Structure 1
Amino acid sequence: MESHQHHHHHHVHNHQIDSLNNVFKISIALNVLYVAIEAGVGFYAGSLGLLSDAGHNLGDVFSLLLALLAFRLAKVHPTARYTYGYKKSTILISLVNALILVAAVCLIVAESIHKFSHPAAVDGTVVSWTAAVGIVVNGLTAWLLMRQQKGDLNVRGAFLHMAADTLVSLGVVVSGLVIQQTGCVLVDPVVSLVISVVILVSTWRLLKESVSLSLDGVPSSLSKGEVCDLLRNLPHIEDIHHVHIWAISTTEVALTAHIVLGNMEYMESVKDDVRRTLAAKGIAHCTLEMELSGCDCRCKDCE
């Protein structure tokens, strides 16, 4: 039974990865096409702003490619040296993507401050129409990623990139229309600063969790105390200690624990109960050591 459940889990997980691979391929193709259009219009209109934004969107394509690479690495089989395969690289890539988002915000803020002191004439019509295309492309990409973004940090990072770009494009459309009607070019950096704050707030959680998982912290979806309490309440378990919970990848969680029993004849049934309980909490990999009560090696790490 245990072997069947483990196989079923990985079958479903691999199906999800294959589905996400297709989403990312479509998203990359859409964004490459938009970068080409934006760069072409920028050259035609002589707009440095559009050319700069095309470069920014090219960076987003790079982030999507990184996320796609993460899914490919997650499927690499374990080796004698890397016994979990390259699953941990998915966490490192999510951290890189979070840092890219922070860097993008810093660049937007720096450019906005520069525009306050050096306002430049902007062709509101050209900028607005081009940015409107960006809303469609980035919004569609964000929509494709939205359903899956809660279950994987890399998908969440890509979703935030696309949602942020949708906001930026929306801000550009609004500022372009206002500039076209009023001629007030300072509205452009004001809108950019507001958008920067929104992006930074939404990125903070991604950055925080990526750093935490990189340091083998307990995933935010789990509570160590709650897991310990659930296991202590199972039949025949007297106590649990030396509990460690960490992420193998952005989607897989592992646990090791010492289980204290009053009677070793229940060991196999307790193992089955523990694995079922942990699987229900999203912990698919567990290593358990059974101990007979009376051992003096308990600790208070679950309290």
Structure 2
Amino acid sequence: MGHSHHHHHQELSGKKLLISILLNIGITLAQVIGGIISGSLALLSDALHNFSDVLSLIISYLANRFTRKQASVKRTFGYKRAEIMAAFVNSATLIVIAVILIKEAFERFLQPEAITPSLVIWLSALGIAANGFSVLLIRKDAKDNMNMKSAYLHLFTDMMASVAVLVGGLLMYFYQLYWVDPLLTILIGLYLVYMGYDLLKSSSKVLMLFTPDQIKVDEMVQIIGEHPAIKNVHHVHIWQLNEREIHLEAHIDFHKNINLITFDEILKEIEEKVFHEFGITHLSIQPEFGKCHTKQVIVQD
């Protein structure tokens, strides 16, 4: 039942992403044409970011579909990492786009150009409306899914960029402050770097099999080792497969040469403890008795 609910949730997320893709294609075309006609760098940079949104949303959509595929003998984990890969790619593109925008803005500062602000105002308003709708559409899904969060960040930052462009357009229209256009572009770029870095770091940690931040290994080993039958917990590996699955692999040295039924009972107790206290969902334990090899908690294989 839980799996069925999760599958339905993924399908719903996929549909929301598809709607957002179509909206962003429309915005991008409108802003490219408007940016060329008006001469607004901020509008063209917004269009560039919108185009990156389209690509990132397509990546997120494909990852969402791939994740639903079943595991096989060649892919025993299935495509559970697909959404983490999408989050990594999308957060990296956010930072690259930001650098491009900042570079273009500095060049515009050195060579200012006249801009048609009325067109900028209308098209940025269109961007706010469409991206705002997309942001509200996938906001809930972004809370517990890196892939959806990466798509959400692209859309949210683009909505904020459109707000900045609108403010710039109004200032240019009423006060002829044309330097506002590149200034806002720089601020948008810096904001993208700030937002993209955090997600890039989080997705990189998962892909590199780092221990999840919330798990204190020494504390966990100590709690497991408190069981009277356990002599030592060592050779520990903890990694996060995706947002929903954290795996623990360890060797456990026992005081006595216990039978399988006793081991299964102890294993069940350990599973309950590490799930409720550390959120670990999958456990692989190698039982040992009287082995002479290293008993270090962390061992480089």
Tell me if both proteins adopt one fold, taking TM over 0.5 as the criterion.
yes
Q: CA deviation at 1:19?
A: 2.7
User: Partners of 1:236 and 1:141 in 2: how far apart?
Assistant: 55
Instruction: Please state if 1:163 is matched with 2:156.
Output: yes
Tell me the SS of whatever aligns to 1:245: strand
Q: Deviations over 1:39-90 (max 9, x none)?
A: 45456x4546445533431221110110111122222222222221222333
Deviation at 1:201, TM superposition (A): 1.4
Measure, in 2, the Cα distance between the counterparts of 1:230 and 1:9. 29
Give the distance between the partners of 1:21 and 1:167, measured in 2 at CA.
Answer: 24
CA contact (8 A) 1:90 1:250 kept: no
Match of 1:286 among 274, 283, 294: 283
TM-score normalised by length of structure 2: 0.86
The residue number in structure 1 matching 2:70 is 77
The 8 Å contact of residues 238 and 293 in structure 1, kept in 2 or not, is answered as no
Residue 108 (structure 1) shift = 1.0
TM-score, L = length of structure 1 = 0.86
What is the alpha-carbon distance in structure 2 between the residues aligned to residue 171 and residue 69 of structure 1?
A: 31
Within the candidate set 90, 113, 116, 2:109 is matched to 116
The answer on whether the counterparts of 1:124 and 1:180 sit within 8 Å (CA) in structure 2 is yes
Partner of 1:269: 265
Q: 1:237-276 maps to which residues of 2 (within 5 A)?
A: 237-263=230-256, 264=258, 266-276=262-272
Aligned CA distance change for structure 1 residues 267 and 65 (closer, same or farther; 3 Å): same
Aligned counterparts of 1:74 and 1:271: Cα–Cα separation in 2: 30
In the alignment, the residues of structure 2 paired with residue 94 and residue 76 of structure 1 have an alpha-carbon distance, to the nearest angstrom, of: 18
Contact 2:46/2:158 (<8 A) preserved: no
Give the conservation status (yes or no) of the 8 Å contact 1:74–1:249.
Answer: no
**Which AA in structure 1 matches 2:174?**
Q
Q: What CA distance in whole angstroms lies between the structure 2 residues aligned with 1:259 and 1:140?
A: 52
Q: Separation in 1 of the partners of 2:49 and 2:92?
A: 14
Question: Which ranges of structure 2 fall in alignment gaps of 5 or more residues?
Answer: none
CA distance in 2, matches of 1:135, 1:234: 58
Structure 1 CA distance for aligned equivalents of residues 29 and 251 of structure 2: 57
Distance 1:121 1:183 in 2: 9
1:227 lines up with 2:220 in the alignment: yes
User: Does residue 180 of structure 2 align to residue 180 of structure 1?
Assistant: no
Instruction: Give the superposition deviation at 1:106.
Output: 0.8
Paired with 1:256 and 1:27, the residues of 2 have a C-alpha distance of 40
Match of 1:149 in 2: 142
Which secondary structure does the structure 2 equivalent of 1:149 belong to? helix
| Closer, same or farther: CA 203–240 of 1 in aligned 2, 3 Å | same
Q: Which moved more, 1:228-237 or 1:58-67?
A: 228-237
Between the two proteins, the alignment pairs up a number of residues equal to 294
Q: CA deviation at 1:164?
A: 1.0
Q: Which runs of 4+ in 1 moved over 6 A?
A: none
User: What RMSD in Å do the two structures reach over aligned CA positions?
Assistant: 2.5
Distance in 2 separating the partners of 1:136 and 1:9: 36
Name the SS for the 1:283 alignment partner: coil
Aligned residue in 2 for 1:3? none
Instruction: Provide closer, same or farther for how the CA distance between residues 231 and 30 of structure 1 changes in structure 2, counting only shifts above 3 A.
Output: farther
Q: Percent identity?
A: 28
| Secondary structure at the counterpart of residue 103 of structure 2 | helix
Give the corresponding residue for 2:80. 87
Taking the aligned partners of 1:196 and 1:48, their CA distance within structure 2 comes to 16
